[in-house]
C-alpha cells in the first residue's frame, strides 16, 4: 500500500467512526442535547453522614467550587456578613414600626407576564431574603424528572426556595444545556404553579444586584431518596450581581402568618420539623434531616428553648439570657418587649448588645493575655497572632431560656488574615435596637432541631465533625 492509499484508508475509517457515533446522538432542528446531570462527587478526604442532605463549606475541599480560603476571602465573607445583618435589621425594624417596604424592595408583576415596566403596588411578602450574605454553607438538591442537582445556600432566614433557571420551549431552547441552570421544559413533572401569592417576582438587593423569576411546581429530590412532587419554588431566569456562586437558596425559614404557603414551604412537607448540623472543619461535612428522620438523627437531649413570636414572622426568635466565657457569666438584660434574638444559618458572626460584647471581649482579652495581639480583621476587632503557639482552649456557654449550650472550641474564635491569626468570633451590634443574631459560626457541630408545631428549638452536641 502506497502512502496515498494508506491516507485514504485512515480517512475512511475515521469517517465511519464519526458516522457510527452520531447514531447514538439526537440531531435535527430543535433537538436538545442535555448534559448528564450528576451529583457532586465527595472527595475521599471528606467525612460525613451516609444519609441526609449533606452540608459542605463553600471554601472547603468538599465544596463543589474548588475555592481556596485566603485572607482576602475571609475579609470578603465578613463584608458580605455585615451586609446581610444590615438588611435583616432593616427588615425587622420596618416590621416593628409598621413602616412600608423600603424603596427598592420586592415587587410583583401583573398578569404573570415578562414585562418589567408594569408593576403593582409593593407586596408585603418578603419571599426572598434581601441578602444572601456569605452563603458559606451549601447543600445539594435535585429539581425535576430526571433530577438535576444544584448547590443551594442553606438559609433559615428565607422561606422560599429558588434556583437559577432558563424558561424556553422547543427551538428556543439551547442545543446544549447549561449545567448550572434548571430547565422546566426538560422535566417531565414540571407544571405551572398557582399564581397565589405571586406569579412572578422581582427581588432587588441593596448592593444593586437582583433576581427576577416565576414560580414553578415540580418534583424536588431531598437527601437523594425523598422525592417531593408538586413542590413550588421560584425559578430565577434573570440575575445580576454576586450571589456567592450558589445556584440559589434552600429556604428553611418560617412563612408569613398571613399567607398559607402550603407547597411553597419545604419544611411544611415534613410536618414542619427539621434539624441541621453545620460542620466545624472545612474538611468535613454536616447534614440536614427532615420530619421523622430529624427526630431520629437529632435525638432529644432533654432540654429545649421555646420559639417566640418576634417582629419578623419569617425568623426563628429565642430568648438568649446570658453567655459564660471561662468562669465569667455575662447577663443579657431584657426590657420586656418583643424578643430580640434570632438563630440564623445565613449570618456568620454572632451580633451582641454593646454592653454584653464589651464584657465578653474584656474577659477574652484577659484569657488571651499570654499571646501577642494582632490587627483587627474587619468586624472582628479582638485578634491575636498564634504563630509558634498552640491553639487556646476557651470554654463558652450560651444560656437560653431553659437551655444551656456549650460551644465547640472552633466556634469561639475565627481564623483570618492568615491561618495563624485568631479573633474573637463575636461582634458588637451597630444599634442597640438591632437584632441579637446567633450566627452559623457559633452553630458549628451542634444538632439544632426546629420543632415548629411544638414551638421549640432543641440544641445538643452534633456529630458532623
Which residues are annotated as catalytic? 155, 344
Q: How many CA atoms lie within 13 A of 441 on its CB side?
A: 24
Cell of 394: 476557651
Q: Which residues contact 66 (CB under 8 A, 6 or more apart)?
A: none
User: Which stretch of DSSP H or E encloses residue 330?
Assistant: strand 328-331
Query: How many CB atoms sit inside 10 A of residue 308's CB?
Result: 17
Question: Kind of pairing, strands 350-352 and 426-428?
Answer: parallel
Distance CA 312, CA 101 (A): 13
Give dist(CA 386, CA 378) in Å, integer.
18
- Widest CA span in the chain: 98
Which region holds residue 370: left if phi is over 0, alpha if psi is between -120 and 50, else beta?
alpha
Q: Is the backbone of residue 173 left (phi > 0), alpha (psi -120 to 50) or beta?
A: beta
Contact 166, 181 (CB under 8 A): yes
Amino acid at each position: 500500500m502506497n502512502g496515498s492509499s494508506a491516507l485514504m484508508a485512515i480517512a475512511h475509517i475515521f469517517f465511519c467512526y464519526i458516522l457510527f457515533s452520531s447514531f447514538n446522538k439526537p440531531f435535527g432542528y430543535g433537538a436538545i442535547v442535555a448534559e448528564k446531570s450528576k451529583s457532586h462527587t465527595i472527595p475521599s478526604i471528606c467525612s460525613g453522614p451516609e444519609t441526609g442532605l449533606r452540608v459542605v463549606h463553600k471554601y472547603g475541599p468538599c465544596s463543589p467550587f474548588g475555592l481556596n480560603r485566603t485572607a482576602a476571602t475571609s475579609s470578603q465573607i465578613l463584608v458580605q456578613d455585615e451586609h446581610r445583618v444590615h438588611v435583616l435589621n432593616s427588615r425587622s425594624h420596618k416590621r416593628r414600626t409598621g413602616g412600608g417596604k423600603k424603596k427598592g424592595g420586592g415587587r410583583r408583576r401583573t398578569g404573570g407576564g415578562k414585562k418589567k415596566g408594569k408593576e403593582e403596588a409593593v407586596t408585603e411578602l418578603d419571599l426572598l431574603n434581601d441578602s444572601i450574605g456569605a452563603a458559606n454553607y451549601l447543600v445539594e438538591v435535585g429539581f425535576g424528572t430526571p433530577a438535576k442537582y444544584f448547590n443551594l445556600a442553606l438559609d433559615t432566614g428565607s422561606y422560599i426556595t429558588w434556583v437559577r433557571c432558563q424558561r424556553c420551549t422547543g427551538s428556543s431552547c439551547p442545543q446544549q444545556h447549561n449545567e448550572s441552570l434548571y430547565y422546566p421544559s426538560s422535566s417531565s413533572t414540571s407544571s405551572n404553579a398557582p399564581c397565589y401569592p405571586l406569579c412572578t417576582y422581582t427581588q432587588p438587593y441593596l448592593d444593586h444586584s437582583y433576581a427576577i423569576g416565576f414560580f414553578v411546581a415540580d418534583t424536588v429530590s431531598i437527601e437523594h431518596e425523598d422525592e417531593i412532587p408538586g413542590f413550588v419554588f421560584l425559578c430565577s431566569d434573570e440575575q445580576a450581581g454576586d450571589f456567592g456562586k450558589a445556584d440559589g437558596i434552600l429556604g428553611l425559614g418560617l412563612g408569613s402568618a398571613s399567607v398559607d404557603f402550603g407547597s411553597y414551604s419545604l419544611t411544611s412537607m415534613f410536618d414542619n420539623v427539621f434539624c441541621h448540623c453545620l460542620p466545624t472543619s472545612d474538611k468535613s461535612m454536616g447534614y440536614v434531616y427532615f420530619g421523622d428522620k430529624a427526630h431520629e438523627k437529632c435525638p432529644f437531649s432533654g432540654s429545649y428553648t421555646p420559639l417566640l413570636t418576634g417582629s419578623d414572622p419569617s425568623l426563628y426568635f429565642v430568648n438568649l439570657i446570658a453567655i459564660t466565657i471561662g468562669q465569667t457569666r455575662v447577663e443579657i438584660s431584657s426590657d420586656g418587649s418583643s424578643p430580640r434574638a434570632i438563630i440564623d444559618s445565613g449570618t456568620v458572626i454572632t451580633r451582641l448588645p454593646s454592653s454584653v460584647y464589651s464584657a465578653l471581649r474584656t474577659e477574652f482579652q484577659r484569657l488571651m493575655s499570654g499571646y501577642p495581639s494582632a490587627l483587627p480583621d474587619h468586624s472582628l476587632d479582638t485578634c491575636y497572632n498564634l504563630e509558634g503557639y498552640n491553639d487556646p482552649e476557651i470554654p463558652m456557654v450560651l444560656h437560653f431560656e431553659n437551655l444551656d449550650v456549650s460551644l465547640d472550641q472552633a466556634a469561639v474564635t475565627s481564623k483570618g488574615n492568615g491561618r495563624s491569626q485568631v479573633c474573637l468570633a463575636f461582634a458588637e451590634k451597630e444599634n442597640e435596637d438591632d437584632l441579637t443574631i446567633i450566627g452559623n459560626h457559633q452553630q458549628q457541630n451542634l444538632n439544632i432541631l426546629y420543632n415548629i408545631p411544638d414551638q421549640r428549638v432543641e440544641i445538643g452536641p452534633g456529630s458532623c465533625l
